[in-house]
Chain A
Amino acid sequence: MTAAATHHYTTTGLDNRKIAIWAFIGSECMLFTSLISTYMIYKGRSVVGPFPHRPWTDPTTGQTLPPILDIPVTSASTFVLLMSSLFMVLALAAVQNKNLPKHTRGDRILGSSKLWLWATALAGATFLGFQAYEFTSFVHEGLTIKTNLFGSTFFTLTGFHGAHVTAGVLWLVTLLAIDYRRGLTPRDAMNVDLAALYWHFVDVIWIVIFTLIYLLQ
């Protein structure tokens, strides 16, 4: 196979896979903006509780209950997702530098693509665990996708994001499988770079969601 065929160069001199992933990320920006817009438009317009930032009265018991969003838990999951982005860039750097001699223990740790891919996948899975916990507790507290406008827009937006994180974790697992089977080399750096771009995009979307939904009252 020729070098050009291997690297999928275009007339711009750019790799077509990288152009494709950036175009895909651009389109995903629009998808998430439509979901965020819907949430923002309906924000504060729910007629019945639970509400995200203010106390509400349960009509069946007459009991006043606190706001439903759990900021400490979500802050922890946000921290985990931010750290996963660090692990991802370290995984990419490890693959790019695979052929270089590792002189120190630090070099060997930083140069282990398996370690950083595992760390990223586990951080992603942990984030999903936090989301599953949050969704379950919301349902137990009486908030479902059908309860009110907040429930509908919240579950749709965060559910879509969670689905993207799940796809990212599966992508990372396939990279790990390749790494265990034949080892990722600098020739595979572009494949890891594409996964990394997707993963960071999922992270930046969460940065926006965390501020607009959880922190802004």
Chain B
Amino acid sequence: MDTHSTSHLSDSAEAHAHAPHAEEHKHPTWSTYWKVALILFFITVGEVWAYYIPSFVASRAFVPSLLTMSAAKFIIVVMFYMHLKYDHRLFRVLFTGPLLIAGLTLISLLFLFGHLIIKL
């Protein structure tokens, strides 16, 4: 596969196709999409691998590391595949606003029902 020509093809076409639109910027190339898929694959393998190590599951690092890996995958997909890294900031606001509210609601409910406890 001619990676160089496809990348060039992608860049020029997207620049041409998107020029008149205020909200659209240059999207990643095909090679970036493949690299992102590879990273997502390896993070998923890491998550499942961690699940099958009993000593790690029993350790304090298990939950934070799984949540970190999951958050990394979430951010990568949103930034690169949903193009939020490249698109207009209004779209970021429309997405992260409700996401923050939702996240705070989730954390508050977990506190309320005793799943998260702060020891003073």
A and B associate in one complex: yes
Task: With both chains docked as a complex, state the minimum distance between the C-beta of B13 and any C-beta of chain A, in angstroms.
Answer: 4
Query: Does the CB pair A15–B70 fall under 8 Å?
Result: no
- Contact present for A106 and B2 (CB under 8 Å): yes
B45 to chain A, nearest CB (A): 9
Please state if B51 and A18 are interface contacts (CB–CB under 8 Å): no
Which one of A19-27, A58-66, A175-183 is at the interface?
A: A19-27
| Pair A30/B78 contact, Cβ less than 8 Å | no
Q: In the complex, what residues of A have CB within 8 A of residue B67's CB?
A: 211
Query: Per-position contact with A for B1-36: 1 when CB-CB < 8 Å, else 0?
Result: 111011001101110010001110001001001101
Question: What number of A residues sit within 8 Å (CB to CB) of B?
Answer: 62
Whether A207 pairs with B77 at a CB distance below 8 angstroms is: yes
Closest to A71 in B: B51
Task: For residue A77, give the distance in angstroms from its CB to the closest CB of chain B.
Answer: 11
A104 CA / B2 CA spacing, docked (Å): 7
Tell me the bound Cα distance from A212 to B106 in angstroms. 12
**Using a CB–CB distance below 8 Å, which chain A residues touch chain B?**
7, 12-15, 18-19, 22-23, 25-27, 29-30, 32-34, 36-37, 40-41, 43, 71, 75, 78-79, 82-83, 85-86, 88-90, 93, 96-97, 99-100, 103-107, 109-111, 186, 189, 196-197, 200-201, 203-204, 207-208, 210-212, 215-217
